[in-house]
Amino acid sequence: MESLKMEEIIIILKNEISQSIHLINTIPNDFGIGVSPQYVRPVIEALIHQFKIYHLSAITGQQWVKEPSQIELIYHFWNGKGLSIHTILKRDNPQIPSIIDIIPGADFYEREVSEMYGVRFVNRPNMPPLLLPDDWQGVPPMLLLENEDEQN
Amino acid sequence: MNKISIPIGPQHPLIKEPISFNIDISGERVLGCDMRLGYVHRGIERLAIKRNYTQNIHLIERVCGICSHVHTTAYCYGVEKLLGVEIPERAQYIRALMCEMERIHSHLLWLGILAKHIGLDTIFMHTWHDREMVLDSMEVISGGRVTHAVNKIGGVRCDITPDHQDMLLTMLSELRVQVDKLLEVMDHDGSLKARTKGVAPITVEQIKAYCVVGPIARASGVDIDLRRDAPLPPYDRLEFNVITRQDGDAWSRTILRVEEMRESINLCEKILNNLPVGAIEIRAPRKVPPGEVIVRTEAPRGELFYYLRSNGTDMPARLKIRTPTLPALGILPAQLSSIHVADIPVVLAGVDLCIACADR
């Protein structure tokens, strides 16, 4: 996958899915695509069927101290080069369509993000606990607590 | 016939790590399985944002008890990339040497477990004896058998002296004889073939759908090895063969790993014979400039993924670790369905599970 082709991918995605899709180049050697949550699924379907990019390495959830009301999800793909899909969810109601019917391997990744950040993946059959105890009552453990600074 | 559910674990099912399986069977056939992870979840990703970059090396080394060195290697390369520093060539070679020795002892450990569960205790004892040779050498170099603490940000802590070099080359030539003998035995042993050939094959489509990586993917004919495809230095300067097999069954996964060991022995010898001279570390600043980085590297079990974000302080703002065992666990229910009950240990052992890695 050449770098020129990456640029072509984003033009095709823009024309076919939404003009709001944009380039993110914060990670070196990784082609980032910024997508609203409702377009994550169509973009991933296009990556698999049109561009044959099927290997999902991980789904990273994270919170930025400067934007505590948001949760960022990054879907890290790889096909000779890295390609990431970035999307922003609201912390008070984080939900996004599940992709396990298109990538069955995303099951554990989604369950982990769901437990650690409280993200709700809609349209998937069940979400049994993966890492946390069955009787876990507290807040999702990776969420930054109130007044928590990344530095302390 | 009635469906019966058999709970296996969480106390050491097959391997000396905790995971719980609930396997549904009907007569002699397996219908499917559920599993439960999390018994060794330590919250390492959460702990990492409360520690500085140096303290994190020691934390991350404890993600896994088998491939501890490759974790710190991926992490240190990530931090060094954010710092914009390049470590001395000699340090890169020492890191790669330890990674390859780790691959050899990880594969030997795994082969021993598989052999034991098939009932071939002789192979189990030989492989674990050979594994001790590698572990002892690693202990001589670093002082630690399991957690070596070789890596530091800006290089490595332990140098390879001429004495080490001689000792390692002797050990590697002995090991090569042992591995060749092992391959010969496996090739002629009817019972090993009978237990593994054609058992639980994984297709290329399944590999792609479940995002499976490493030896399991290569045993099904997916030619992917991040040492070649996304090399961290010095792999871009080293030549080696990527072993692949086509059948995708338990036998392919077994023989592939043994052949990989042979390739790793060659690589170790190449590294030792071409070890650059010079410093083994440079001084790296404590504070890391803001930025994000992704590191992918080939651990013994496949693609190891690190995402690291810095906010300009001496502590990371986010550290995400995805270990190769997680996708391998994902494909287990598909592998276990419709096999014989007696083949369950072969399939579970064939995946080369590392539960501590998957739980973090």
Please report which confidence band the pLDDT of residue A147 belongs to, taking 50, 70 and 90 as the band edges. Answer: low
Mean of pLDDT values over B129-157: 90
| Closest Cβ–Cβ partner in B81, B315, B318 for A62 | B318
Contact A26 B359 (CB under 8 A): no
Contact A108 B229 (CB under 8 A): no
Cα–Cα distance, B80 to B154 (Å, whole number): 7
Q: Which residues of chain B neighbour A105 with C-beta distances below 8 Å? A: 209-212, 327, 330-331
Mean of pLDDT values over A128-144: 84
Domain-located, residue A146: no
Q: Please, are residues A32 and A7 in contact by the beta-carbon 8 Å criterion?
A: no
Q: How many domains does chain A have?
A: 1
In this structure, what are the phi and psi dihedrals at residue B219, rounded to the nearest 5 degrees? Answer: -70, -20
- Give yes or no for residue B251 having a pLDDT over 80: yes
Task: Output the pTM of the full model.
Answer: 0.90
- Give yes or no for residue B160 having a pLDDT over 60: yes
Mean of pLDDT values over B175-184: 90
pLDDT digits (tens, 9 = 90+) for B181-204: 988 888 888 888 888 888 888 888
Residue A66 sits in a domain of what CATH number?
3.30.460.80
Domain-located, residue A13: yes
Contact B46 A76 (CB under 8 A): no
List CB contacts of B262: < 8 A, sequence separation 6 or more: B176, B179, B180, B183
| Closest Cβ–Cβ partner in B38, B45, B210 for A104 | B210
Cα–Cα distance, B348 to B329 (Å, whole number): 9
Contact A105 B320 (CB under 8 A): no
Domain coverage including residue A52? 3-122
Q: Please, are residues A62 and A116 in contact by the beta-carbon 8 Å criterion?
A: no
pLDDT digits (tens, 9 = 90+) for B91-123: 999 999 999 999 999 999 988 888 888 888 888
pLDDT digits (tens, 9 = 90+) for B317-329: 999 999 998 888 8
Interface of B with A in 20-39 (CB under 8 A): 36-38
Q: Which residues of chain A neighbour B315 with C-beta distances below 8 Å? A: 150-151
B40-359 folds as Cytochrome-c3 Hydrogenase; chain B (1.10.645)
Domain-located, residue A22: yes
Which chain A residue is nearest to residue B224, measuring alpha carbons?
Answer: A80
- Ramachandran quadrant class, B15 (left: phi over 0; alpha: psi -120 to 50; beta: rest): beta
Domain-located, residue A137: no
pLDDT value at residue A148 = 67
pLDDT value at residue A149 = 59
Tell me the three state secondary structure of residue A95: strand
- Give yes or no for residue B15 having a pLDDT over 80: no
Alpha helices in chain A, H assignment, sequence order: 3-16, 37-49, 107-117
pLDDT value at residue B13 = 66
Given CB atoms, is A60 within the 8 Å cutoff of chain B?
Answer: yes
Domain-located, residue A145: no
Tell me, what's the ipTM? Answer: 0.88
Which chain B residue is nearest to residue A75, measuring alpha carbons?
Answer: B307
Sequence ranges of the domains in chain B: 40-359
Is the dihedral angle over the CA atoms A140, A143, A146, A148 positive or is it negative? Answer: positive
| Closest Cβ–Cβ partner in B291, B307, B326 for A108 | B326
pLDDT digits (tens, 9 = 90+) for A28-73: 888 888 999 989 999 999 888 888 888 999 999 998 888 888 899 9
Share the mean pLDDT of chain B.
Answer: 88
3-class DSSP string for chain B = CCCEEEEECCCCCCCCCCCEEEEEEECCEEEEEEEECCCCCCCHHHHHCCCCHHHHHHHHCCCCCCCHHHHHHHHHHHHHHHHCCCCCHHHHHHHHHHHHHHHHHHHHHHHHHHHHHHCCHHHHHHHHHHHHHHHHHHHHHHCCCCCCCCEECCEECCCCCHHHHHHHHHHHHHHHHHHHHHHHHHHHCHHHHHHHCCCCCCCHHHHHHCCCCHHHHHHCCCCCCHHHHCCCCCHHHCCCCCCCCCCCCHHHHHHHHHHHHHHHHHHHHHHHHCCCCCCCECCCCCCCCCEEEEEEEEECCEEEEEEEEECCCCCEEEEEEECCHHHHHHCHHHHHCCCEHHHHHHHHHHCCCCHHHHHC
pLDDT value at residue B67 = 87
Interface of A with B in 105-124 (CB under 8 A): 105-109, 116
- Give yes or no for residue B229 having a pLDDT over 90: no
pLDDT value at residue A2 = 45
Domain-located, residue A129: no
Comparing CA positions, the residue from A148, A123, A105, A136 lying closest to residue B303 is: A105
pLDDT value at residue A75 = 94
Cα–Cα distance, A145 to A114 (Å, whole number): 17
